[in-house]
Amino acid sequence: MKNDAALRLSYLTGCWGLILVLFFCGAVHGQSNVKTEADIRAVLEAQSAAWNRGDVETYMDGYDRSPKTEFVGGDNITRGWQEVLDRYKKKYDTREKMGVLTFSDLEIQVLSADAALVLGRWRLQRANDQPHGTFTLLFRKTKAGWRIVHDHSSTA
How confident is residue 45, by pLDDT bands cut at 50, 70 and 90? very high
Q: What is the DSSP string of 131-156?
A: -EEEEEEEEEEETTEEEEEEEEEEE-
Task: Using alpha carbons, select from 82, 58, 52 the residue that is nearest to residue 69.
Answer: 82
- Using one digit for the tens of pLDDT, what is the confidence trace for 69-86? 999 999 999 999 999 999
DSSP 66: S
Burial letters 93-106, b for 16+ CB under 10 A, else e: eeeeebbebebeee
Spell out the long-range contacts of 86-90 with Cβ–Cβ below 8 A and sequence spacing 24 or more: 88/56, 88/59, 88/60, 89/56
Question: Contact 104/78 with Cβ under 8 angstroms?
Answer: no
Task: Using alpha carbons, select from 15, 89, 60 the residue that is nearest to residue 151.
Answer: 60
| Largest distance between two CA atoms of the chain | 86
How many CB atoms sit inside 10 A of residue 121's CB? Answer: 14
- Using one digit for the tens of pLDDT, what is the confidence trace for 18-33? 454 445 444 444 568 9
Give pTM, 2 decimals: 0.80
What pLDDT score was predicted for residue 32?
A: 82
